[in-house]
Amino acid sequence: MEKPQIWVFMEQRGGVLHDVGLELLGKARELAGSQDATVAALLLGEKVAPLADRLIAHGADLVLVAADPALEPYRLLPYTQVLARACREYEPAILLFGATALGMELAPRLAARLETGLSAHCIDLKLDADGLLLQMVPGWGGGVVATIKCPVHRPQMATVMPGVMQKSGPEARSGRVVHLAVGPDLEVSGPRVLEVHREEPQTLPLEQAEVVVAGGFGIGGREGWQLLEDLAGLLGGAVGATRPPVDEGWAAEGQMIGQSGKTVRPRLYIGVGISGMSHHVVGMEAAETVVAINTDPQAPLLALADIAVVGDYREIIPPLVAELRQRRKGSAAT
């Protein structure tokens, strides 16, 4: 087998692929183009081989499959073991993971096992003239983008949040499937999954909402947060947040938008009491129309907005909510 160079870990649960793997395959294809490298998709689980055609259509030249009952559902130690063995055998130059809960657990463990580096939450990936992976992450409080290289150790590893890269394909392409040897030693010690309980989301998922009303530290507390929920409800949207409201407990972890949270691409994003640090902006800059409300005319989010409103949200949002309620009543009456 030729040596695959750019590997992408494909997250799947019960045979359903996570989109982030397909997004990273698109990026890997782009990187491979400039280097004539091979793109390989790594697929671990029990009955996962039927997914291989889809991965080839989305950009993989090679699908490396490890199929075993011990790999379904996901468990950290067996996955680490299979991946570490494959990396030692085939020596990929680059290995990419989605920065999902699973990827954020598995990638650092594997990097430590292989004694290589890992850049978490990259917002872009490129190759330099020597073919080294340039891993871009917001740094120093989000004011600059730092470029990280891993010149000595292999593989060069990075995680990327879902939604940051664009999926490519599917196209009519050909590729090969290679089955990785899975040893009988996968039942290693460590946590075991006894049962799986799925919690259905109670509200519209942020990533699917066409309108996102996002609140920042400037909201000041739970009382103000209710105003955002009222506004989002009237617009048929969802409420997002920056990191400080999550830290303060006004919003849930799953509502955070940005480098360590979700990436959203709504038709309308309304940012309220948000300064506009790049850690947040990377998660919302693909919104079609951006409205920002801020008391500080110098706030960076105002400069980025299509409609910049300078003022106190407590004076701006209540009349807006009242007007929307009025219109709704009017349209219900006719």
Ligand X SMILES: Cc1cc2nc3c(=O)[nH]c(=O)nc-3n(C[C@H](O)[C@H](O)[C@H](O)COP(=O)(O)OP(=O)(O)OC[C@H]3O[C@@H](n4cnc5c(N)ncnc54)[C@H](O)[C@@H]3O)c2cc1C
Interaction site with ligand X (CB under 6 A): 141-142, 216-218, 242-244, 256, 258-261, 273-275, 277, 279-280, 293-296, 299, 312-314
User: Any idea which residue has 């105002």 for tokens?
Assistant: 302
Write down the least CB distance from residue 245 to ligand X, Å: 7
Q: With respect to ligand X, which residue has the nearer C-beta, 40 or 219? A: 219
Please give the single-letter amino acid code of residue 128: D
Distance CA 126, CA 94 (A): 11
The alpha carbon of residue 117 and the mean position of all alpha carbons in its chain are separated, in whole angstroms, by: 20
Write down the least CB distance from residue 23 to ligand X, Å: 18
Distance CA 55, CA 235 (A): 37
Q: With respect to ligand X, which residue has the nearer C-beta, 4 or 276? A: 276
Q: With respect to ligand X, which residue has the nearer C-beta, 58 or 279? A: 279
Write down the least CB distance from residue 121 to ligand X, Å: 7
Q: With respect to ligand X, which residue has the nearer C-beta, 57 or 118? A: 118
Write down the least CB distance from residue 133 to ligand X, Å: 20
Write down the least CB distance from residue 20 to ligand X, Å: 16
Per-residue b or e along 37-57, where b marks 16 or more CB atoms closer than 10 Å to that residue's CB: bbbbbbbbbeebeebbebbbb
Q: With respect to ligand X, which residue has the nearer C-beta, 32 or 227? A: 227
DSSP H helical ranges for the chain: 19-33, 52-57, 76-90, 101-114, 222-234, 243-248, 278-281, 300-304, 313-333
Peptide bond into 151 cis (omega under 30): no
